[in-house]
Structure formats: C-alpha cells, structure tokens
Structure 1
Amino acid sequence: MSWGITTKTKPIIKLISISFNRLSRDDIDSIVLIEQQNSHNPWSKNQLIESILNPANLCYSISMKNKIIGFLMAMRTLDNADILNISINKACQGKGYGNKLLHYLIKELKDRMISQLILEVRASNQAAIDFYLKHGFEEISLRKNYYMNNSKHPNQKEDGIIMRLKF
C-alpha cells in the first residue's frame, strides 16, 4: 500500500513596478551607458544632452525599481513625430520593455493630437525593423547610402529605411 500526498499551491506572481518619466540632464550618465551598450555608432553625451534639453522633443525613460532601464527620444513637428533614438539596457531586452516604452510614446502623441510617427532605421538592423513592423509600422522609403558608418563594413555607407505608423 502506498500513500500519496497532493497539495495545491497557488502560483507565485511577482509584480514588477515600472515607471515612465521625462528625461532630464540628471539622467545622462544612465542614458550614455545604455546607448553605448547597444549601438555600433552611439550618440555622444553632448548629442544626448541636446536632445533632452530641446523643448520640441519628447524624451522619456522607463525605470524599474527607480533605475533607468531604457529611454526614447522623439521630435515633434506639426502633426507628426519622429523617433530619434530608442534603447533598452541589454540585460532587460526581450522582456517587453521596448514595447511598453513605444506604447507610452504613442499614447502621449495621441493626447497631443499627433497623427503619425516616423522613424529611420539602418537597413542592417533587422531586429529593429521586425520590432517596428510588429507594431504596425510600414516601410515607406529608402535613403540610399544615408549612414556614413556601416555596422558591418566600415568603409561603406549604409542605407536607411524610413518607416511610418499612422494613428
């Protein structure tokens, strides 16, 4: 004769608190580190500061446990906006934080009556292209030899793909 013990347990759900904040100059060190982690041709500290301080730009961070894990910079024009830069800390990639940050921006743009979002991505950056296509962006144009420094072939220029999301 054997005895079996059966117990019922509830799954443990861990809530992770994230927040969105406007970027300020005080955030620059965190932003520079994330930018350098993720780009073969990172923006300089001065370029990042100029974007943050530009009143026409919408610059946000996503934070977890009060630590910045990603950022997004977009420039507003009349009825559209251009994504200038978006980046998530390497350790946090693939967990949906880029999605959350993009959705936060889209909500902010809709609240400002902006009707479309435009961006440009390196033709070799297939992961970014797939990310944007998944979110409803469409490829609308190609800028031949737009980027001076090619990620894979430093002596060649690289094409830029222009993508758009209408809402």
Structure 2
Amino acid sequence: MSWVIFIKTKPIIKPINTSCRTYQNQDLKAILAIENLAYDFPWSQEKITNSTDNTNALANVVLVDDQVVGYLLALTCVDFVDILNICIHPKHQHQGLGRQLFNHFKHAINNTATKS
C-alpha cells in the first residue's frame, strides 16, 4: 500500500520592484505594523527599539515599491550571529522575499567579516 500526499502551496512569485537595505529609524512604524499583523504575540516597540539600538545589532529591511514589507533583526557576537526575528508582511509572504532578505543579510555579514 502506498500513500500520496498533496500539499497545497502558493507559487513563489517575486515582485518586480524589490530591494533590501539597512534599517533606518523611520522604518520603525512599518516594522511595528508588520509585527502586529504577522504574530499573535508581537514584539513591543520597546523591544524592537532596544534591539535596533544595540551596538551589536544588524537590522535589514526588504522593500516592495519602496515600502517596507519585511525585516530581519540580528545580534553579532565574537564569532557568531544570532537572528532575533525575521518577518514578512502576511500579504507578501510566499514570494521569496524572506529568502531575498536573508541572502542580503548573509552578504552583509560576509562583507563585515572580510573587513575585520
């Protein structure tokens, strides 16, 4: 006897106008909105601000048509990096944006490591 399991998934369709960049203070409002839409127990503004203000913080955002639709927060240590949170707006999930953001983050980490 054999079983066939079908999993319904959404196709990955990358939006045309996407980019990633380093977090800026004016991104906080968008990050809070995404956090509240995506999670049942979202981070508070204080927790996000404490994370981004940390001298060891790495924070990146992904944009679609110049609008923040996702973010990644991480802390660097001597020889490793802890990813604290990565989140994509629910309406923009399953489009490869999380992967794009993570790849941008990895590239930034590699550039930082080679400059040290």
Same fold (TM over 0.5): yes
TM-score (normalizing by structure 1): 0.57
Deviations 1:89-133 (A, max 9, x none): 00000000000011111111122228xxxxxxxxxxxxxxxxxxx
Residue aligning to 1:112: 112
Max Rg structure: 1
The one-letter amino acid paired with 1:67 is Q
User: Separation in 2 of the partners of 1:101 and 1:15?
Assistant: 13
Find the residue that maps to 1:19 and give its secondary structure: strand
Give the gaps of 5 or more residues in structure 1. Answer: 1-13, 115-167
1:46-61 to 2 correspondence within 5 Å? 46-61=46-61
Q: Answer yes or no: is 1:70 the counterpart of 2:70.
A: yes
Which structure has the highest helix share of the two? 2
Residue aligning to 1:38: 38
Give the superposition deviation at 1:15: 7.1
Deviations 1:51-104 (A, max 9, x none): 122221100100011100100001000111000010000000000000001111
Tell me, yes or no, if the aligned pair for 2:15 and 2:64 is still in contact at 8 Å. no
Tell me, yes or no, if the aligned pair for 1:59 and 1:72 is still in contact at 8 Å. yes
1:78-89 to 2 correspondence within 5 Å? 78-89=78-89
Structure number with higher relative contact order (C-alpha < 8 Å, ≥ 6 residues apart): 2
User: Separation in 2 of the partners of 1:98 and 1:40?
Assistant: 19
The one-letter amino acid paired with 2:106 is I
The one-letter amino acid paired with 1:75 is L
Tell me, yes or no, if the aligned pair for 1:24 and 1:53 is still in contact at 8 Å. no
TM-score (normalizing by structure 2): 0.80
> Percent of aligned pairs with the same residue?
27
* Closer/same/farther in 2, CA of residues 47 and 62 from structure 1, 3 Å limit: same
Give the superposition deviation at 1:37: 1.1
Residue aligning to 1:94: 94
Find the residue that maps to 2:26 and give its secondary structure: helix
User: Separation in 2 of the partners of 1:31 and 1:48?
Assistant: 9
Give the superposition deviation at 1:27: 1.0
The count of residues paired between Structure 1 and Structure 2 equals 101
Residue aligning to 2:27: 27
Find the residue that maps to 1:21 and give its secondary structure: strand
